[in-house]
Structure 1
Amino acid sequence: MVPTFLGTHKKVPLNHSEPEGKSAAIALVRLPAAVGPQSTEYRGPILFNPGGPGGSGVELILAEGRDLSSIVGPQFDLVGFDPRGVGRSEPRVSFYETAVERELWQLQATHELEHSNHDLADTWGRALVTSRLASERDNDVLGHINTDQTARDMLKITEAHGYEKLKYWGFSYGTILGATFAAIFPDKVERLILDGVVDTNDYYSTAWATNLRDTSKVLQYFFDACSFVGPSKCAFHAETPAQIEKNLIDLYHSLKTHPVPVRTADSYGLVDYASLRYTIFRSFYAPWASFPRLAEGLADLAKGNGTKLFMMQEKDRFECSCAGRTDDYVFGKFGQDAETAILCNDGIPIPGTYEDTVEWYEEALEFSEWSSVWAGIRISCSGWKHASTQHFRGPIEGNTSFPLMFIGNTADPVTPLAAAHKMSKAFPGSVVLQQHSPGHCSVTAPSPCTQAHVRAYFVNGTLPKPDTWCYTVGNPFTNHTVPELLSVSDTALNTQMSFSTGENDQDLLAAVIRLSTRSTRQLPNAPLQF
C-alpha cells in the first residue's frame, strides 16, 4: 500500500472555545489498512505524532508508514497529521517574511554554548529579537498554537473517521500531546501509546530541568560497545572504554585551539569544539543509525580529517525561490517557528531577563554537562508574549477508559526512563514497558520484543505485565540483516517474536531493523527540538 495524501484538510475551530469563529485546516495523510472497512478485522485509524514540537506527522507516515504498519498490523489505517501551525496545515507559523531572511538570521545561531557567558548572552539576545518578530508578524493566530488546541483537533480527526475514541502512538513531544488528550478526554481513550516520555510537569512549568538525566549514559554506551566489538567494527576502538573516553577528551582539547577546516563537494566550514559536541549529542538520538558513522568520523578527526564528522550535520545548499514565494512547505519544513510557538505558549511565562537566564543555566550545567547544547529551548521563550492564561496545562492525570501504555529506554538522551514511571502513576492501570537500549524512543533501537508488545496492545488490548523488560538484537556496531537473524537459532529472539504473533513475523522484524538503522530519519533539530 502507498500512503494516500488527503488533498482536503480537516477544518477545525482555530479556538475550540469559539466553534463558530475562525477555522484552522489540519493536513492529513492516510496509509489504508490492508483490509477494507467492511471487514470484521478492520480496526480503524491510529493517529501518530513524531515529536518536536513542530514535527510533521504527514512526513512521518510518508517516510515510515509501511514499517509502522508492519508493526501495528494490517487492521489499521495509519493517519499522520501536521499539528496546527506546522508543515502543510494552515495557518502556518512563520516569524520571517522571506526564506532569505530566515536563512541569514539562523546562520548566526549558536548550537553549543561552550560554557561561555558571551555565547549565552548572544543566545538570550537573539531570543528577544525572535520574540519581537513573532509579535510584530502575528495575525491573531499564535495565541491558539498550543497543545491544548491540538489535543482537541485529534478528537475532531478521530470523529471524522467515524470513531468516538482515539487510537494513538506519540513519540517524544507526542507524549505531551497524548497525555494532555488523556487528561482532557479520559473517556475518549481506546488505545494510547506514549513512547519516549516527557515529564509533563517539567514541560508545562517551562523548567526544562529533568530531560538530561540519562544523557551521559548514551555516551558511556558508545564507549562500552566500541571497546567490546573490536577495531574491525568500531573505527574509534581502544582496548578499554576509559581509553576511548580519554581519546575523545583529547580531541575536545585540540579543537578548542585548532579547529579543522573542511571542504566538501557541496559546502565548507569548520569542525570545532562546539560542532563536535553538537554532532555527538545528535548521534545520541539514533545510535544504530549514527554510532558507526560517528566512530569513523572521530577516527578520521584524530588523523586531522574532519570531513566525515562535518558531513553528519551538513545542510542542503540554500537556494532562493525564483518564483518569489515568501512561504512554502520546504521553507518551514522542520517547524522551528511552530516549535517555539507551541512550547513557549504551553509553558508558564519565564522572567526572560539575562540575570534569570544565567542563574538557570548555571544550575542546569551542574545537573548535566550537555545542558550547554540543550539550554536554547528554555532561552528561546525569553520575551515571549503570546502565552494564554486560559489554555489547559493540567493537572495531567486521569482514570482513562482504557489503560495507557508507556515506553521508555534505559538510556534515552532527552526523555529519561524515570519520566515514564512518573507519568504512569498519574494514570491508573497504565503500564511502563522498559526497553534496555540507548536512543530516543523505542523505534531507534531494534527490539522485536517491544514492537510485538505494541502490536498486542493495539490489536488485542493486551498490556505488558508490570516490570516487563525488552532487549535489542545486536548493538549499533554489530547489527544484522533480517536473513542473518532468522538463520540463527536464537531462543531470545524467538521468544521476543512469538509471544504475540504466534510465529516469527519477518515483516515485523524487518520493519524494526529498518526503523532503527534508517540514516535519513528526521531527527529533532537540537537544541530547539526534542
Structure 2
Amino acid sequence: MTVTPTIRRLFAYCLPFLALWFFFAKESPYAKYTLLGENPQPTLCATDSHSATDDFPWESISPTEKLVWIDCYANQQCARLKVPLDYSHPGGASAAMALIRTPSAVPHDSPNYRGPVLINPGGPGGSGVDTVAAAGTLLSTIIGPEFDIIGFDPRGIGRSTPRISFFGSRAERQIWTVESVSTFSVNSSADALARAWARGIVLGQLAGKGDNGSLRFMTTDHTARDMLKIVQAHGRDKLQYWGFSYGSVLGATFAAMFPQHVGRLIIDGVMDSEDYYATKWSKNLFDADKTWMSFINGCVAAGPAGCALHAPTAAEIIEKVDKVYASLRKRPIPVQTDTSSGLVDWSMVRATIFASLYSPYAMFPTLARILADLHEGNGTTLFKLLEQPAFQCACDPAQYQFERLLDATSGIICNDGERVSPAYEDLVGHYGRLSETSSWADVWERPRMPCLGWPDFPKNHFRGPFVANTSFPLLLIGNTMDPVTPLWAAKKMSEGFAGSVVLTQDSPGHCSVASVSICTFIYIRQYFLDGRLPQPGTVCPVDVPLFPPSPSPDVADEDQAQVRFLNSLSAADRRLFEAATELVKMSPVRFLGGI
C-alpha cells in the first residue's frame, strides 16, 4: 500500500480527537504517533496543533478595534481584532481575535464585490486561521471570487487571546494526556469507564484551579457577538457564514440571537443545538452504525482488487473485524520500527475505524488495508502510519505561545452546557442509554467528562430557544449517513428558523466536504451569490466512488467514463469539481479535541 502524505496527515490529526469531534495533536494520547514534520492540512470540524510549527509572528500584530490587515502566509492577510472579554461590561478587559483572509479577486470598490464570508471549522476548538491558511483558495473557488474568505480562531483558541489552558506547561499536559490512552475507549477494559470518570473530575478541577478569571467568558454566545464585531469591522451589518459541525451550533446561536443580522448563513453537518447546550451529547450517533455499514457494503461491492478486506458477504467482513477486536482485547500487538516501538491495541483500532467514518471517500481504502493486515496479526501498517518522533520540551516557550490546545474544546463545551452530575452512577446510566443508540458509544461518551468537575460558573448565557424569523433564510446541509451529525438534526433545527431549507447530500461522511458533489456546491455558490435556495426536499448525489475502481482490463473504459463526465461539465463546474476533490483529499473533517 502506498501511504500518501495526505493520508498520513489525516490519521495524524484524526486519531487524537476521537474522544470528542469535526474539522482535526501533540497533547493527545496518541501524540507519539502523529506526524509533526509535515505541513498540516486544514481542519473543518476539530482541533490540531498547527501553530506549533507556525512561523508567522502573530505577536507582532497589535490588537485593534479597527481591522488592520498585514501580509501573511501565502498571498493572504492577517489581523487581530480587539473585542470585549465580557460583553456585559464592554469597557472592561478585552480579548483579541486572530483573523486571516483570502482576499476577493474582485476589488472592494467594485459593485461586484460581495463582502466577507466567515468560516468556522467546528470542534469546538477548531482553528479558522489554519483552515483558511491551507484551504482558503479552494473555499474561494467554491463560494466565489467575489467574496473575501475569512478564518478566525474563536475566543480562547489558538492565536486568539486570552487562551483556555488548564496546565502550567506543555510537559504537564503531555504527561496527563499520555496517561489517558487506557480510557480512550470507555469499553477498553473493565475499569475504563470508571477511570475516565475520575480523570474527568480531575480535569474539571484543574480548569478551575488554573483560571485567571477569563475562562467563564469562553462561550459560544460570546463568540457569536465576536462574529458580529468582525462583520461590523468590515463596515457591514449582516453576517455571511459557513460553519461545520460545532460551527452549526455557533451559526444557529448567532441566527437566534441576531436574526436581523443574517445575510447568508450555511450550517453544514448540523448538530442538535438543544442537545448540545443540555450537555447530553445523546443524539449524535443515530446514523453512525449506518455509516460503518457503508464501509462493509462498499467493500463487498468493490471486490478483492478494490478492497483489501473483501469478502463475498457483509457478514463475513463483520466476522473479520470482530476477530480483530477479539484478538486485540486478548493480546495487543507489539510493534517495533527503525525509529520507535509501541503497541497496537483495541483503543487505537476503534479510533482508527471511527476516524475513517468522518472522511470515508479519503480513508476507506486505507482502512481496509489496515484491517486486513490486523486480521493477519500484523499491526505494523497502522503503527507506521501514525509513527512520529517523541514529544520534546521546548527550549523557548515563546515558540509555542500560540499553539492550539485541546483544553479549549472542554472549556467551551462545559461553559456552554448545563452542569453534569458528578455522580458515577449517573455517568453509567448515560453511557447505557447512549449504547442503546449506537455501537460507537464507547468512543463518544467522553465529550462530557471534563464537565463532571467543572467550576460553578453562572449559566446566564444564551442557550436557546432556536426560533427566529431571520432577515434571510438559512441553508442547512446534512448527509444521509453522517456518523456524528445525523440528517435528523438538520431537519429538526430547520423547523425553528422561518423559511430555512435543508439540502440533503446522499453520502456517508461528516459534512458536505466529506465527498465531491457538484450539485451540493452549486447550491452553496448560488446561495451566497444570488440568495437562491434549493427546493425543499432536494437531494444531491455525489460524483466520486466510495472505493476507487480497481485496475482491470476495462480500466480504459473507466478512464473514458471519467473523461466523459469531466467533459460534460462547464468550465466553472469543472473548477468547482477540482476544488472539491482537493478538499476531500485533504480529509478536512476532523474530530473534536480529547481529554
Instruction: Flag whether TM exceeds 0.5 (same fold).
Output: yes
Partner of 1:426: 496
Question: CA shift at 1:388, angstroms?
Answer: 2.6
Amino acid in structure 2 at the alignment position of 1:516: V
Question: CA shift at 1:82, angstroms?
Answer: 0.2
Counterpart CA distance in 2 for 1:378 and 1:5 is 37
Question: CA shift at 1:316, angstroms?
Answer: 5.2
Is the contact made by 1:50 and 1:60 (CA closer than 8 Å) also made in structure 2? yes
Output one character per residue of 1:258-309: Cα deviation in whole Å (capped at 9) or x when no partner. Answer: 2111223443221122211111011111111211111111111122211222
Q: Unaligned regions of 5+ residues in structure 1, if any?
A: none
Task: Report the secondary structure of 1:121's partner residue.
Answer: helix
Amino acid in structure 2 at the alignment position of 1:444: A
Partner of 1:23: 94
Output one character per residue of 1:223-259: Cα deviation in whole Å (capped at 9) or x when no partner. Answer: 1111111111211111122211111111111111121
Task: Report the secondary structure of 1:449's partner residue.
Answer: helix
Partner of 2:179: 108
Task: Report the secondary structure of 1:192's partner residue.
Answer: strand
Match among 410, 425, 450 for residue 480 of structure 2: 410
Counterpart CA distance in 2 for 1:433 and 1:446 is 15
Counterpart CA distance in 1 for 2:398 and 2:516 is 42
> Where in structure 2 are the equivalents of 1:203-214 lying within 5 Å?
203-214=276-287
Match among 3, 6, 10 for residue 81 of structure 2: 10
Match among 110, 128, 131 for residue 60 of structure 1: 131
Output one character per residue of 1:322-369: Cα deviation in whole Å (capped at 9) or x when no partner. Answer: 124595233xx2x41111110101001111111211111112112211
Please, which moves more after superposition, 235-244 or 141-150? Answer: 235-244
Partner of 2:259: 186
1:426–1:479 CA distance, 2 compared to 1 (3 A): farther
Please, which moves more after superposition, 281-290 or 377-386? Answer: 377-386
Output one character per residue of 1:138-176: Cα deviation in whole Å (capped at 9) or x when no partner. Answer: 010010000010000000000101110000000000000
Match among 226, 233, 236 for residue 163 of structure 1: 236
Q: Give the share of equivalent positions with the same residue, in percent.
A: 48
Task: Report the secondary structure of 1:281's partner residue.
Answer: helix
Partner of 1:145: 218
Match among 340, 348, 351 for residue 410 of structure 2: 340
> Where in structure 2 are the equivalents of 1:376-455 lying within 5 Å?
376-455=446-525
1:50 aligns with 2:117: no
Counterpart CA distance in 2 for 1:450 and 1:421 is 17
Counterpart CA distance in 2 for 1:102 and 1:237 is 41
Partner of 1:235: 308
Partner of 2:582: 514
Counterpart CA distance in 2 for 1:104 and 1:153 is 34
Amino acid in structure 2 at the alignment position of 1:414: V
Task: Report the secondary structure of 1:231's partner residue.
Answer: helix
Partner of 2:151: 80
Counterpart CA distance in 1 for 2:306 and 2:293 is 17
Amino acid in structure 2 at the alignment position of 1:379: M
Question: CA shift at 1:457, angstroms?
Answer: 0.5
1:468–1:82 CA distance, 2 compared to 1 (3 A): same
Q: Unaligned regions of 5+ residues in structure 2, if any?
A: 1-72, 551-557
Amino acid in structure 2 at the alignment position of 1:22: A
1:40 aligns with 2:111: yes
1:22–1:370 CA distance, 2 compared to 1 (3 A): same
Amino acid in structure 2 at the alignment position of 1:35: V
Is the contact made by 1:344 and 1:387 (CA closer than 8 Å) also made in structure 2? no
Instruction: Count residues with an aligned counterpart.
Output: 515
Question: CA shift at 1:95, angstroms?
Answer: 0.4
Match among 166, 177, 181 for residue 95 of structure 1: 166
Q: RCO (CA 8 Å, sep 6+): is it higher in 1 or 2? A: 2
Amino acid in structure 2 at the alignment position of 1:515: L
Partner of 2:140: 69
Is the contact made by 1:3 and 1:62 (CA closer than 8 Å) also made in structure 2? no
Is the contact made by 1:196 and 1:409 (CA closer than 8 Å) also made in structure 2? yes
Partner of 1:523: 590
Task: Report the secondary structure of 2:453's partner residue.
Answer: coil
Question: CA shift at 1:505, angstroms?
Answer: 2.3
Counterpart CA distance in 2 for 1:425 and 1:267 is 53
Question: CA shift at 1:386, angstroms?
Answer: 4.7
Counterpart CA distance in 2 for 1:213 and 1:306 is 31
> Where in structure 2 are the equivalents of 1:483-494 lying within 5 Å?
488-490=563-565, 494=568
